[in-house]
A and B are shown apart, each in its own frame.
Chain A
């Protein structure tokens, strides 16, 4: 993602929500995107998906996925990228599930949208299942014939509608099982309101996983859950990280979550990425004053009693953002240069980028 700029047209004026966001994600990596509310984390995610609300406008930049610019794609193409490549997991698992459709049909919808694209996935899953069954017992004649037929399926072959549906069902059930849901066959037939918050979040994750995406965007997936369920979901995410071959963009305002699962962290403030570093590096040696403030604001049970540390001031008004570095009005180390221009990214250490004049630029 290079120099992404997004504006929102509102009655109050233009909200410059993203002001030149640069972000890169390597294959198989988990990148944490942290920042307080209103810093532009979700807008970043939605622009990758091409699902910004109607009053938003991308005014500049590129979003490259495997070399193709998503911003230049036609709506239909972008939709099929969403279908097969970029999956998103959302915040609140109750409001994001359709209340009147069963869990199973909501996941099946995805697969049935493009039979051609998912035939391979579904057939492979069935073959693996038969393989596993074959290890435990001898396959029936019908199963053997099915295996032969699936194995002889050409790489660009498409399954018939009914067979696809049958295999897709068992694949969806297997996926529900893979996100550690108990009794997946039963959950397949249940409605969202019959599940607990953690279970709903798992089904939403399953919705993303059935597509075998190359990029998984997880937007505040633990925020709406209570702490024990949060821990379970994070545990699941960590396990899945090793099982699936996807890059994960984990959006959160919770630094503890970042420390748990991420490889690298990007810190956002007021529509800018202010610092990017390996997760250990960032926690050990934060460079940007905002990052330092964030880390200092984490309450510690061992610290002396007293007031909680906070960053003074509040998130800037993005209709009239502060000139230069958007953090300077709140920055304890601001100096005369800060309001004058936007600081360029500086590689302060190898792999550790920071946008702050304290480190040159």
Chain B
């Protein structure tokens, strides 16, 4: 089977996975909460019972034959629509792009779930991508150095960093960084790096030129670049440093350790002896002959770490008070914003299955022995 045929089959399967997940999630939210929760974003204090009943019927949670809103909210069987029927209606709406209104504090009932989500998602994506870049840029070289200097000083240092990074709770590490760089390391009376909030201005070397940038995408660095305001982009980058480091510390540790151990394994192989006996330089031996073999397990782990990064974003955004979708999802859980939770879970799941597909494809590209 060709790689693209395999990819197509996997993409079709991906649709099935998401469908199954949405069903499970729908049952967990709508099946276990009282049916009136679905009305919450739409209800205004001035609505009378008849209007509320009409609303419940239009949302598909109350039957057309339901006599009164009273009967609906006291769960009379004749008023309740079975969950699978609700699901069918919901799925139809969702596929049309209608995810309902949001219940988030401050904007409840005034904005659609979709618009809130996608105005905040780019910020989170930018943070997660920065975390991923840091993970790869630090984790892989650190692992290589560790393996090529096995049991020497660089290896010991890298092992301390990786094991430490892997073991430190992220939220704790984030607060420690904040204390160090915002409270103690001060330049001109202000902290070296901005503290809470991506757009905080309590920082000596950053955000001196916030300027005005139209939030075209919602991702601050990208917006700055698109608007041609490089200072803004740079300031945003500086503001993202602490959150990104905190986010990636665990995955750096995990990736370093896996690269180190698989590199050590590869360096022991017979073909490394042959490569050296061929008179190749160390650089060619390590980066051309060994690294590609050693990266195979690392690619698998990197796929899992991506999922981890998107999960970790929730904690990071709370610690650093950032306006991303992770923080928002926590708010959504607190107020039972069912619509938002559903969208959040499905988008996260989509990211994970796409990453897994990417991992499998990269794997096949790296290792010619793999056939689909």
Establish whether residues B293 and A100, one from each chain, have CB atoms under 8 Å apart when the complex forms: yes
Q: Given A92-B270, A98-B271, A109-B288, are A83 and B278 neighbors across the interface (CB < 8 Å)?
A: yes
Taking CB atoms, residues of chain B closer than 8 Å to A98 are 271, 275, 289, 293
Q: How far is the CA of A213 from the CA of B356 in the complex (A)?
A: 47
Closest CB in chain B relative to A155 CB, distance in Å: 22
Taking CB atoms, residues of chain A closer than 8 Å to B288 are 101, 109
Establish whether residues A113 and B277, one from each chain, have CB atoms under 8 Å apart when the complex forms: no
Establish whether residues A51 and B276, one from each chain, have CB atoms under 8 Å apart when the complex forms: yes
**Which residues 65-88 in A have Cβ within 8 Å of B in the complex?**
79-84, 87-88
**Chain A contact residues (Cβ within 8 angstroms of B): what range?**
20 to 34
Which residue of the partner chain B has the closest CB to A102?
A: B368
Taking CB atoms, residues of chain B closer than 8 Å to A95 are 269-271
Taking CB atoms, residues of chain A closer than 8 Å to B281 are 79, 113
Establish whether residues B280 and A99, one from each chain, have CB atoms under 8 Å apart when the complex forms: no
A97 within 8 A of B: yes
Closest CB in chain B relative to A160 CB, distance in Å: 20
**Which of B273, B280, B293, B369 makes the CB contact (< 8 A) with A110?**
B280
Establish whether residues A100 and B367, one from each chain, have CB atoms under 8 Å apart when the complex forms: yes
Establish whether residues B270 and A99, one from each chain, have CB atoms under 8 Å apart when the complex forms: no
Which residue of the partner chain A has the closest CB to B296?
A: A100
Taking CB atoms, residues of chain B closer than 8 Å to A99 are 271, 293, 367-369
**Chain B contact residues (Cβ within 8 angstroms of A): what range?**
20 to 34
Establish whether residues B270 and A96, one from each chain, have CB atoms under 8 Å apart when the complex forms: yes
B366 within 8 A of A: yes
Q: How far is the CA of A49 from the CA of B278 in the complex (A)?
A: 10
Closest CB in chain A relative to B259 CB, distance in Å: 16
**Which of B276, B277, B366 makes the CB contact (< 8 A) with A100?**
B366
Closest CB in chain A relative to B369 CB, distance in Å: 5
Taking CB atoms, residues of chain B closer than 8 Å to A84 are 279
Establish whether residues A97 and B293, one from each chain, have CB atoms under 8 Å apart when the complex forms: no
Q: Chain B interface (Cβ within 8 Å of chain A)?
A: 269-271, 273-281, 284, 288-289, 292-293, 366-369
Q: Chain A interface (Cβ within 8 Å of chain B)?
A: 49, 51, 79-84, 87-88, 90, 92, 95-102, 109-110, 113-114, 191, 193, 204, 207, 211
Query: Other CB < 8 Å A-B pairs besides A100-B293, A110-B279, 12 of them?
Result: A51-B273, A51-B276, A83-B280, A90-B277, A98-B289, A99-B271, A99-B293, A99-B369, A100-B366, A101-B288, A109-B289, A191-B368
